[in-house]
Structure 1
Amino acid sequence: MLDTRLYHHLVTWLGQWPIRQALQIVGSEKRLRPGWDGAVRPVAGLGTPDGVLMSVPPDKVDTVRALADLPLPDLLDKLPGAVDHDGWRAFEAVFRWTTDPAPLPDAGEWIPAVDPVVPKWLRPFGAEVLVARDDDGGYLAGVGIKRHDPYGNELSVGTEPAARGRGLARRLVAQAARRVLDEGAVPTYLHDPANLASGKVATAAGFPDLGWVAYGVFGPEGP
């Protein structure tokens, strides 16, 4: 049975759930509104063994449905143009979630995102971020929370090259997942299918790969 928090997150994030056909195109006003970081994301999709649900702006539903007979790779190739974002690219990411993070020891502390030790990539997450430091107080690794809605929050982790191989990322991700759960939401984790290191971190932190895939389109700044 799907976790209630995850169900509500998917309904809120995509505009509809569950998937009821092999390829389901739905319109959602969410595709027109700023997301967790203020950016508008015109496509959000999720594939499971039951099929694929693609959420697009309401006025683009018919245009995207006209592509529904194409093989999925071809549909994804045409998707940016179908939602009036020529020059953007479609992406696929492994979508993971958990309600039972690995019982790993904490590895960091929660500090304000504006703290001088927080690296540039971690600052847009706002509020507090989770940071592991060295003995001199320097940044080693960190996790930010993408607060999509009250039901589902996505974790993003980064580790300095010199600090890799110590198990910091998996411990930080598990620690952050426990906080998200304590706050009443379900933690999610997305990564490029080719990023095997990120996949190993997710698995070790208690985020299994269930064969779910997230979809979207992004511009030059990335997803």
Structure 2
Amino acid sequence: MRADRLHAKALDIGVLDDPFTSALRGPQSRFARTVGNIVTFEPDVSVFYGHPREMTDQDYADLAQLAGIGHTASLRDRRTPLPEDLFDVVAEIDLVQYRGDAVEPPTADPTADPELVRLGVADVPEMTALIELTEPGPFLPRTIEMGVYLGYRDPDSGRLLAMAGQRLQLPGWTEISAVCTHPDARGRGLARRLVSAVAQVIVDEGNTPFLHTTADNSARRLYEKLGFTLNSEVPLEILRVTGNNR
């Protein structure tokens, strides 16, 4: 599964520095809403915003316009002062990014795992319930359109117990996201199997896996054991729009 063994083309690591903009102005532009230099996903697809690190007054005004008063927006690795008349900071997350260009091949082909199933639109209510229970990150009604999602169902009841899938699509890279396991099924290696399987799908598609987590997430140990390497750690701020100066 190691990407540099399978791909002759050189990887552009720079697109990982601003992954939301790279996705929205590139492979996932079909989901994009844009005002000036600010870009975001359609509201039922994903919550993230792409923006310059060095934000101007116009950029902040465009961000407020695009999000709308009373709604939230996100800023990744902001480098300029936030206008207090436009936004309140609701939360700040230490966002950790791992890249999978050095991931070693698994001991067995995870795509041949017969217990993992591909999830579709009909599964979204059950996927959403699992996300709400385990809280790995945002998952909206159309998030499933962003890529392939795999799940593990209880062989007796058919209940969805674990899942993982693809979210951001960048030039040469695909993000693994929504990695979660029901509390009743933890400790059985399901997350490892699903991350490996989704990573294999990504490599088979010609891309290299990467992923995001938070600094305090114990899942980091799993990702590092699988061979993912730390690429960056930056603040992700969740803002509420309180005004619009236009």
Question: Alpha-carbon deviation of 1:146?
Answer: 0.8
User: Separation in 2 of the partners of 1:176 and 1:83?
Assistant: 43
Moved more, 140-149 or 157-166: 140-149
Structure-2 residue corresponding to 1:21? none
User: Separation in 2 of the partners of 1:202 and 1:59?
Assistant: 39
**Does 2:147 align with 1:140?**
no
User: Separation in 2 of the partners of 1:139 and 1:146?
Assistant: 19
- TM-score where L is the length of structure 1: 0.64
User: Separation in 2 of the partners of 1:42 and 1:82?
Assistant: 20
- Structure 2 stretches of 5 or more lacking a match? 5-9, 23-34, 61-76, 132-138, 241-246
Question: Alpha-carbon deviation of 1:131?
Answer: 0.2
Helix, strand or coil at the partner of 1:148: strand
The alignment-based identity, stated in percent, is: 20
Report matched runs for 1:24-173 at 5 Å: 31-34=38-41, 37-41=45-49, 54=53, 56=55, 59-60=58-59, 81=83, 84-102=86-104, 103-105=106-108, 106=110, 108-115=116-123, 118-120=126-128, 121=131, 124-127=142-145, 128-136=148-156, 137-156=158-177, 157-173=179-195
User: Separation in 2 of the partners of 1:14 and 1:99?
Assistant: 21
User: Separation in 2 of the partners of 1:97 and 1:170?
Assistant: 16
User: Structure 1 residues 56 and 77 mapped into 2: Cα distance closer, same or farther (>3 Å)?
Assistant: closer
Deviations 1:148-197 (A, max 9, x none): 3343322120100111111110121111111112222221111111112x
User: Structure 1 residues 111 and 14 mapped into 2: Cα distance closer, same or farther (>3 Å)?
Assistant: closer
Supply the AA of the counterpart residue of 2:143: F
Question: Alpha-carbon deviation of 1:118?
Answer: 3.8
- TM-score where L is the length of structure 2: 0.59
Structure-2 residue corresponding to 1:182? 204
Structure-2 residue corresponding to 1:71? none
Moved more, 98-107 or 157-166: 98-107
